[in-house]
Amino acid sequence: IAAGLLVLAGSAALYFIFREKPVVTTPSYVSRQTDAGIFRDTLPDHSVAVVNSNSSIKYIAGLAGATRTVALKGEAWFDVTNDPGKPFIVTVGDVSIKVLGTSFNVNTYDDEKTIRTTLLTGAVKVTPLPGSRHTALPKVLVPGQTGVLSKPDASGEAMLTITETPDPDKIIAWK
């Protein structure tokens, strides 16, 4: 019996030593940053991002995953390729902007007190991310509207207001 237990214990030890370990891969990211100029980037899904000066975007290489998520700092204009099975989401701090096949501008420089999303075509949904300090409710913008989300103050209060934008082309004149 002792010999049998020894063989069994030895077999179990060999199994745990030589079994295949799961391979954990961390995604690689693509980062684009501008200083004084404007950068135009065609994303892997054929969407276009025009990044204004002193701004940056970051996304998983190939836009792999269940969503096409782009993190933005500063200002960028997007013309998004429609793909209903794989939503396009722009994250800005603790806010997400879900794109419903569209072109829009986002302005969120660190030194400003608001996050501004101006819609030219299609529709976008502006939503505070779960766990964020924003208390504003999600809202959907239609063309010609700007969503202005104030950044939370010391008390955590933030508001999302929708305004009509009489000439959205002036908002994107920089691109």
pLDDT at 134: 60
The CA-atom distances, in angstroms, between 21 and each of 17, 24, 67, 125 are 10, 9, 28, 42
How many other CB atoms are there within 10 angstroms of residue 130's CB atom?
Answer: 7
Reported as a single tens digit per residue, the pLDDT across 129-150 is 666 666 667 888 999 999 888 8
Reported as a single tens digit per residue, the pLDDT across 41-59 is 999 999 999 999 999 999 9
pLDDT at 3 over 70: no
pLDDT at 79: 92
pLDDT at 62: 85
Tokens of 60: 């998983």
Q: Is 103 helix (H, G, I), strand (E, B) or coil?
A: strand
Percentages (nearest 5) of helix, strand, coil residues in the chain: 15, 40, 45
pLDDT at 43: 92
pLDDT at 168 over 80: yes
Pair type for strands 103-108 and 68-79: antiparallel
pLDDT at 47: 92
Higher pLDDT pick, 145 / 23? 145
pLDDT-derived band at 160, boundaries 50, 70, 90: confident
Tokens of 169: 């082309």
CA dihedral in degrees (11, 14, 16, 18; nearest 10)? -140
The set of residues, in sequence order, having a beta carbon less than 8 Å from that of 4 and lying 6+ positions away, is none
pLDDT at 71: 95
pLDDT-derived band at 17, boundaries 50, 70, 90: low
The CA-atom distances, in angstroms, between 148 and each of 39, 77, 95, 126 are 25, 16, 12, 10
Reported as a single tens digit per residue, the pLDDT across 73-129 is 999 999 999 888 889 999 988 788 998 768 899 998 888 888 889 999 988 988 876
pTM for the whole thing?
0.75
- Between CA 170 and CA 132, with CA 125 as vertex, the angle to 5 degrees is 110
